[in-house]
Amino acid sequence: KCKTGPLDIVFVIDSSRSVRPFEFETMRRFMIDIIGSLDVGPNATRVGVIQYSSQVQNIFSLKTFFKRADMEKAINNIVPLAQGTMTGLAIQYAMNVAFSTTEGARPPHKKIPRVAIIVTDGRPQDRVSEVAAQARAAGIEIYAVGIQRADMSSLRAMASPPLEEHVFLVESFELIQQFGKQFQDKLCGADLCMERDHGCQHSCVSIPGSFYCECNPGYRLNADGKTCSPTDACADGRHGCEHQCVSAHGTYLCRCRTGYYLNQDKKTCTMIDYCSFGNHSCQHECVSVPNGHYCRCRSGFTLQADSKSCRANDLCNGVDHGCEFKCVSAEGSFHCICPEGQQLQADSKTCNKCRAGHIDLVMVIDGSKSVRPQNFELVKQFVNRIVDLLDVSPHGTQVGLVQYSSRVRTEFPLNKYATADEIKKAVMNVEYMEKGTMTGLALKHMVEHSFSEREGARPLSQNVPRIGLVFTDGRSQDDISEWARRAKESGIVMFAVGVGKAVEEELRAIASEPVEQHFSYSADFTTMTHLVENFKLNICPEEGKGEMEIRSPCECEALVQFQTNTVAILESLTERNILW
């Protein structure tokens, strides 16, 4: 057996009419004997056979069979073509087709020798020298075997150099079988890896008449063709490691940076969640970072010196303070206050109401498209929270409601309802208008219509305070300055409430003096009801200046409360004297 390493061998057999049947049988035997001396297999020597005359026929390719028995059976089944002798055409086919990787030839970088054995008995009927030169330049080693009538010059034109080792002329078909034994020795040659000091660092691979060095997996052959160096499997950038690629003995492994762990795909990394260990002790939130964790406080809170606990910057915004009117923050605490003329009750949160007050209150609410339906429902709740503060009656406080967008609509005038429950029910039935934001037009409507006696406003001669409360969530699409000024000049006390994208400059222009006490703002609709608790509008009237004198009911309630407390204390002291 030929032990000099794998080969890709293609037999190119002349089956022209000049080859008689018994002579062709001898050629079959020649091929079978040569194959018998080879170590055939997918990773050893591969064999293909083509026959030619005036045309070329593929008998089997390099990838078809890997067992000698299958090859012998296919060779014995060949039916000669018995036509002309187109040797050049056969060499062209061998170069372009038979030795292609698609037909089973190993890629050139594997350095598997490609050997073509051409067996012919006559002179070619086409040109062979040019196509043979192309085949040799493509790396195909050509052996030319001529029998009996073969043309020696054609054989020499086809064969690879040195010609004395690649050109053979056999006198008759009877002698070709004997020649086959000699050709085996030429084809296999000596095992140069065994007979000389090859100098290969890892392994030596013999080929006919030569050898080459190979490196173990994970190494590459150096420029000297003998020594090997480890390959850097990370260098080509195709490793897919998310963080770091570590090369090791021709392969690689992925590694994660500190604070990360390698996922099951062995390529990607996930940050270690130190907070999930459950030992962070953070009062509010734990935040994982690559090298550990840190504590973070919610909005409105400050992280304390222990780096774990939190304290509110503004306790009024950080806790549910429960103040009815307004919450005032102090260092580490808060307290509630009431509007001018009202007193804080014993619970330190609620304020007494001015139940005998005479007020005409018109609320003007923004129903533009930017408010959106779900937020408009919150606006209606806000309105009803204001109504809850008031003592609604035909002779006390009257409430009217106006909605505006690109146009203005009176939802109900001042004299429409006589109780708070009726007003609140009507408010919840108000339908959302959408479209634009014409705040200036709404102010004009309020001045000219809402506070007219026709819509229930009490005559100016009665000195009943007129209060306008404007609610908006954005910039007006028209001018507000003229009708804001006229409203205040006509004696209407103006309050402005803004939410979201409301413009502070416009809110201040609407509000009465002092401005700071007559306008307020909330960042979004969800905290708007909280605004009612933090900032109860000071809408209790001053002493009446109408036809009959009305004392401040807030002042009266405070006096009555003081008297009640004093009587209780005196009664307690009297009981103690009796016991003594």
pLDDT of residue 572: 53
- Locate the domains of the chain by residue range: 7-188, 360-575
Distance CA 404, CA 445 (A): 10
Distance CA 361, CA 382 (A): 15
The tokens describing 389, both together, are 């503060």
> Could you confirm whether domain 7-188 is CATH 3.40.50.410?
yes
Closest-CA residue to 80 (of 61, 60, 52):
52
Q: Is the pLDDT of residue 512 over 70?
A: yes
Q: Is the pLDDT of residue 546 over 50?
A: no
Q: Per-residue pLDDT tens for 254-298? A: 999 988 999 999 999 999 888 988 778 899 999 988 888 899 998
The tokens describing 231, both together, are 């390959």
Instruction: Determine how many CB atoms are found less than 10 A away from the CB of residue 331.
Output: 5
Report the SS3 class of residue 450.
Answer: helix
Confidence of residue 233 (pLDDT cuts 50, 70, 90): confident
Q: Is the pLDDT of residue 567 over 80?
A: no
**Which residue is listed with tokens 């007193």?**
343
Whether 360-575 and 7-188 are alike in CATH topology: the answer is yes
Helices (H), 189-331: 192-195, 315-318
pLDDT of residue 123: 87
Mean pLDDT of the chain: 83
In this structure, the strands spanning 8-14 and 114-120 are: parallel
- pTM of the shown model: 0.38
pLDDT of residue 332: 66
Strand runs (DSSP E) across 215-265, as ranges? 219-221, 228-230, 244-248, 251-255, 260-262
Confidence of residue 547 (pLDDT cuts 50, 70, 90): very low
Q: Is the pLDDT of residue 537 over 60?
A: no
Q: Per-residue pLDDT tens for 154-193? A: 999 999 998 888 888 877 666 665 565 556 655 665 667 7
Helices (H), 122-175: 129-137, 152-158, 163-166
482-491: b (≥16 Cβ within 10 Å) or e: ebbeebbeee
**Which residue is listed with tokens 């992280």?**
303
The tokens describing 78, both together, are 């060949």
By the 8 A CB rule, do 16 and 81 touch?
Answer: yes
pLDDT of residue 173: 60
In this structure, the strands spanning 519-522 and 492-499 are: parallel
pLDDT of residue 172: 64
Distance CA 168, CA 294 (A): 86
Confidence of residue 439 (pLDDT cuts 50, 70, 90): very high
By the 8 A CB rule, do 185 and 2 touch?
Answer: no
- HSE-CB for 492 with a 13 A CA cutoff: 30
By the 8 A CB rule, do 240 and 265 touch?
Answer: no
Distance CA 307, CA 294 (A): 8
Closest-CA residue to 450 (of 421, 419, 476, 415):
415
Class at the top of the CATH hierarchy for domain 360-575 = alpha beta
By the 8 A CB rule, do 120 and 147 touch?
Answer: yes
pLDDT of residue 231: 79
Confidence of residue 330 (pLDDT cuts 50, 70, 90): confident
Q: Per-residue pLDDT tens for 356-393? A: 457 899 999 999 998 899 889 988 988 888 888 788 88
In this structure, the strands spanning 397-404 and 408-412 are: antiparallel
Report the SS3 class of residue 267.
Answer: coil
Closest-CA residue to 436 (of 403, 469, 389, 393):
403
Report the SS3 class of residue 449.
Answer: helix
Residue 278 amino acid letter: G
Distance CA 193, CA 199 (A): 9
pLDDT of residue 576: 46
The tokens describing 46, both together, are 């591969």
pLDDT of residue 531: 54
Distance CA 298, CA 280 (A): 16
**Which residue is listed with tokens 């000071």?**
538
Distance CA 22, CA 27 (A): 9
